[in-house]
């Protein structure tokens, strides 16, 4: 995934930003490997003591002696059989982890399906049948299951207040969690904290007559103090054309529903719009408004948001960052969008950093800002105020009493098709603690779960994947030699971040980061407000500092990974360096097919349709020769058409929107497989897993596919099609596999089999290239 989007789809309803799937084997082995009958017999035998003998009758002693002789004989027989079996099958791995993972893989397969016809159902059919959606989940798979496992680890760490040697920051994380878990206090306060906050903002027309001229002041407060973005979003990030400095950036804002499509296609999305309106109306009633007033006010808000959706630019039209990058001075914003008093606004949002009218700013949505300014100018000031307050209300729902959370849960049940369930409070609190103090909590997580040699092993795998990628560049015929050389230099320069940022393991440095974040023991709402205030100060502080590579965008427990083009870096948190992606006791085929493909995926993002625009230093500039650019565009158009020809529940995928992730999936698989072949050349063939009847080359592809086994509700699938830059799991497998000649070779797929089209990526007309493409995308 690339940095501007989400590395993988959302991991769960609790965690902001990752994916869903199921853990095949617990990498720790705790409480998962049952004792074998042999082990039980040995325990019983060794548990006998001589003192029991005098208490037996002669007949009992004789019978018991015979039982012992038979047991010992059986034990020796089993040992002998095992040794003989291993001698006659030297190519099998018969360790306990190998047997366990083999069993899990076998259970996930559907052997009735021809792998050359439908590899996803072959690899995942058994898993899908035995894994109905858990109650309350809209999607499920290895990613989400691993995240649930990580959350349980974090829960134990946060609740263990007797741990010694914690840093002040780690203690703050525990207090933050404890305040979140104080349901009695939260229920006692009810809606009062939010009602008081709204009053401080100047009130709204829900509960009292309202006629004020305070638009600029309210906009400044909701943006600066509560981190909301009603009409546009303003943030600090690396300047894409000067990667050594940070800069203020302005972009279009998000909407109340996940995508503009929900508003624009009202017929197809009527039930979602109605559920959204009902949810907002219920929030209004809970905050003291009458049903009638709330209904009228919220209908106006949804209509206004529909107008905003109409002027919002679709994401697939924003993929060329060279075209949407617009650098100007702060004073130019006044000409671009005069409805906002920009200088007071920016000074408030980035206080206490001094700003003047010549402050450089990058605008990523120039046309949108012009239109939103016109909309603000012609919209009733009461409606504008109501909308800004509602954006704050939506952000606070999850930190209020159960009535607000029940209202949101009912909305999400309709939105994502989940069955009603009671989510344990601790899951919400763990996830929110990870969001607010994730690097303090991450330090605890790393010390409890992540070893230094795991980091070294992962770093070595990254190096192997990088070698495979660079070696493939030699055989790309459509790319000119000068661009190839620059591409290799960029790949060489990619900075790898594995496990965790180093500063979190130093108490002094970690405490310094969170020094200004005050956490009290009982007041959860107050702690969240403190977090927003702290976050605003940290953001402002970055403006005058150079970008820091140790500033991660994911916390260590996260089950995900990402590539950041402006830093030319890949990040692999400790949370994903576990089964089913990696285990040191598994065959290398599984590790390369799991975490190896993830590593190759992130590496390929440096050369996808967006990442390729950045040079080795992270600067957005033209560094490819025009001939290579044109060849690249023609080839990637083939991929746009290939994935655009897939559909889920009769809804076609958007091949343009998912292009970057599809390129990364294809390139990642190719690089990981090549690295695995190189590993075999250096180390020799490894033992195969028992009972599967597969070569390790076949196992590589099965391991890759089973990471993506998943189940989803139709509503969740619909949301994914229109919002997710990743293709649905099924097509991440078959789309990539069908472009792999190595897959077809090892599974013996006949020409023109569904998984082995005669011309790779030549599924539709006008795609003129053949198997070279799979090399070009790696």
Which amino acids are annotated catalytic?
A: 602, 665
Q: CB-based contacts of 147: which residues, under 8 Å, 6+ apart? A: 11, 12, 15, 18, 559, 575
> Can you tell me the distance from the alpha carbon of 761 to that of 766, in angstroms, rounded to the nearest whole number?
11
b/e map 545-565, b = 16+ CB within 10 Å: eebeeeebebbbbbbbbbbbb
End-to-end CA distance of the chain: 14
> Can you tell me the distance from the alpha carbon of 137 to that of 416, in angstroms, rounded to the nearest whole number?
8
Q: Could you tell me how far CA 277 lies from the centroid of its own chain?
A: 29
Question: Residue 647 belongs to what H/E stretch?
Answer: strand 647-648
> Can you tell me the distance from the alpha carbon of 658 to that of 643, in angstroms, rounded to the nearest whole number?
8
DSSP 8-state secondary structure symbol assigned to residue 92: B
419 contacts 413 by C-beta, under 8 angstroms: yes
Question: Angle, to 10 degrees, between the axis of helix 119-130 and the axis of helix 729-737?
Answer: 150
Residue 765 burial (10 A CB sphere; 0-12, 13-18, 19+): exposed
DSSP 8-state secondary structure symbol assigned to residue 250: E
Q: Looking only at Cα atoms, what is the longest distance across the chain? A: 106
Nearest one of 500, 527, 523, 509 to 432, comparing CA atoms: 527
Residue carrying the six token digits 């009982």: 522
The phi and psi torsions of 239 (rounded to 5 degrees) equal -70, 120
Q: Is the dihedral of CA 677, 678, 681, 682 positive or negative?
A: negative
b/e map 712-749, b = 16+ CB within 10 Å: bbebbbbbbbbbbbbbbbbbbbbbbbbbbebbbebbeb
755 contacts 763 by C-beta, under 8 angstroms: no
Q: CB-based contacts of 518: which residues, under 8 Å, 6+ apart? A: 530
Question: Residue 747 belongs to what H/E stretch?
Answer: helix 741-747
Q: CB-based contacts of 238: which residues, under 8 Å, 6+ apart? A: 245, 246, 247, 547, 566, 567, 618
The length of the chain in residues reads 778
Which pair of tokens denotes residue 133? 């959606």
The phi and psi torsions of 754 (rounded to 5 degrees) equal -50, -35
Helices of type H across 514-625 = 524-542, 588-591, 597-605
Residue 407 burial (10 A CB sphere; 0-12, 13-18, 19+): buried
Torsion of CA 756, 758, 760, 764, to 10 degrees: -110
Residue carrying the six token digits 């909305």: 411
| Residues paired with residue 573 on neighbouring β-strands, in sequence order | 499
> Can you tell me the distance from the alpha carbon of 485 to that of 673, in angstroms, rounded to the nearest whole number?
23
677 contacts 667 by C-beta, under 8 angstroms: no
Question: What's the alpha-carbon Rg for the chain, to the nearest Å?
Answer: 29
Nearest one of 51, 35, 54 to 43, comparing CA atoms: 35
Nearest one of 592, 593, 595, 547 to 574, comparing CA atoms: 595
Q: Write out the DSSP string of 474-512.
A: TT-SSS-HHHHHHHHHHHHHPEEEEES-GGGG-HHHHHH
């Amino acid at each position: 995934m690339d940095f501007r989007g989400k590395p993988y789809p959302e991991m769960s309803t609790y965690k902001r930003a990752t994916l869903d799937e199921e853990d095949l084997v617990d990498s720790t082995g705790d409480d998962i490997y049952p004792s074998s009958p042999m082990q039980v017999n040995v325990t019983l035998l060794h548990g006998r003591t001589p003192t029991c003998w005098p208490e037996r009758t002669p007949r009992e002693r004789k019978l018991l002696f015979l039982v012992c002789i038979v047991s010992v004989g059986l034990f020796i027989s089993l040992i002998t059989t095992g040794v003989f079996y291993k001698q006659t099958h030297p190519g099998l791995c018969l360790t306990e982890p190998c047997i366990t993972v083999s069993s899990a893989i076998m259970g996930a397969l559907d052997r009735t399906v021809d792998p050359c016809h439908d590899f996803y159902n072959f690899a995942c059919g058994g898993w899908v049948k035995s894994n109905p959606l858990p109650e309350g989940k809209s999607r499920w798979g290895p990613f989400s299951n691993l995240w649930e496992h990580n959350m349980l680890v974090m829960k134990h760490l946060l609740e263990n207040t007797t741990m010694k040697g914690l840093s002040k920051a780690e203690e703050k994380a525990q207090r933050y969690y404890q305040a979140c878990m104080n349901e009695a206090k939260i229920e006692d306060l009810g809606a009062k904290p939010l009602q008081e906050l709204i009053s401080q903002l100047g009130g709204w027309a829900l509960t009292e007559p309202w006629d004020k001229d305070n638009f600029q002041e309210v906009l400044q407060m909701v943006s600066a103090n509560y981190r909301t973005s009603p009409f546009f979003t303003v943030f600090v990030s690396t300047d894409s054309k000067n990667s050594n400095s940070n800069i203020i950036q302005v972009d279009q804002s998000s909407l109340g529903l996940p995508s503009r499509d929900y508003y624009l296609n009202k017929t197809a999305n009527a039930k979602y719009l109605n559920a959204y309106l009902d949810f907002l109306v219920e929030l209004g009633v809970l905050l003291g408004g009458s049903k009638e007033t709330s209904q009228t006010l919220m209908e106006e808000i949804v209509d206004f948001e529909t107008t905003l959706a109409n002027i919002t630019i679709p994401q697939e039209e924003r993929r060329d960052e060279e075209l949407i990058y617009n650098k100007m001075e702060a004073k130019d914003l006044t000409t671009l969008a005069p409805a906002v008093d920009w200088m007071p606004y920016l000074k408030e949002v980035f206080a206490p950093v001094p700003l003047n009218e010549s402050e450089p700013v990058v605008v990523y949505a120039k046309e949108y800002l012009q239109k939103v300014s016109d909309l603000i100018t012609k919209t009733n000031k009461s409606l504008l105020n109501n909308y800004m307050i509602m954006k704050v209300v939506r952000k606070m729902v999850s930190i209020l009493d159960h009535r607000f959370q029940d209202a949101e849960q009912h909305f999400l049940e309709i939105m994502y098709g989940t069955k009603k369930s009671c989510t344990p409070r601790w899951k919400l609190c763990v996830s929110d603690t990870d969001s607010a103090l994730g690097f303090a909590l991450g330090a605890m997580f790393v010390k409890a779960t992540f070893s230094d040699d795991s980091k070294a092993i992962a770093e070595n795998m990254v190096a192997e994947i990088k070698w495979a990628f660079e070696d493939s560049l030699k055989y790309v015929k459509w790319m000119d030699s000068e661009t190839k050389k620059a591409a290799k230099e960029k790949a060489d320069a990619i900075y790898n971040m594995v496990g965790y940022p180093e500063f979190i393991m130093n108490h002094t440095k970690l405490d310094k980061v969170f020094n200004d974040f005050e956490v009290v023991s009982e007041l959860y709402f107050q702690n969240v407000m403190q977090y927003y205030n702290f976050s605003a100060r940290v953001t402002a502080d970055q403006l005058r500092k150079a970008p820091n590579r140790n500033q991660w965008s994911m916390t260590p427990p996260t089950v995900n990974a990402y590539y950041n083009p402006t830093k030319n870096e890949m990040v692999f948190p400790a949370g994903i360096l576990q089964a089913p992606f990696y285990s040191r006791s598994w065959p290398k085929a599984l590790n390369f097919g799991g975490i190896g493909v993830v590593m190759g995926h992130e590496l390929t993002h440096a050369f996808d349709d967006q990442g390729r625009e950045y040079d080795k230093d992270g600067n957005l500039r033209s560094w490819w020769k025009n001939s290579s650019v044109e060849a690249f565009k023609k080839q990637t158009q083939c991929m746009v058409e290939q994935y655009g020809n897939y559909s889920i529940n009769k809804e076609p995928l958007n091949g343009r929107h998912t292009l970057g992730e599809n390129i990364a999936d294809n390139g990642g698989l190719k690089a990981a497989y090549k690295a695995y072949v190189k590993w075999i050349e250096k180390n020799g063939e490894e033992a195969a897993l028992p009972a599967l009847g597969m070569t390790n080359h076949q196992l590589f592809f099965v391991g890759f596919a089973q990471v993506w086994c998943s189940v989803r509700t139709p509503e969740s699938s619909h949301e994914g099609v229109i919002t997710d830059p990743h293709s649905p799991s099924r097509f991440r497998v078959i789309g990539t596999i069908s472009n792999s000649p190595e897959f077809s070779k090892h599974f013996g797929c006949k020409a023109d089999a569904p998984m082995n089209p005669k011309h790779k990526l030549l599924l539709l007309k006008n795609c003129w290239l053949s198997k070279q493409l799979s090399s070009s995308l790696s």
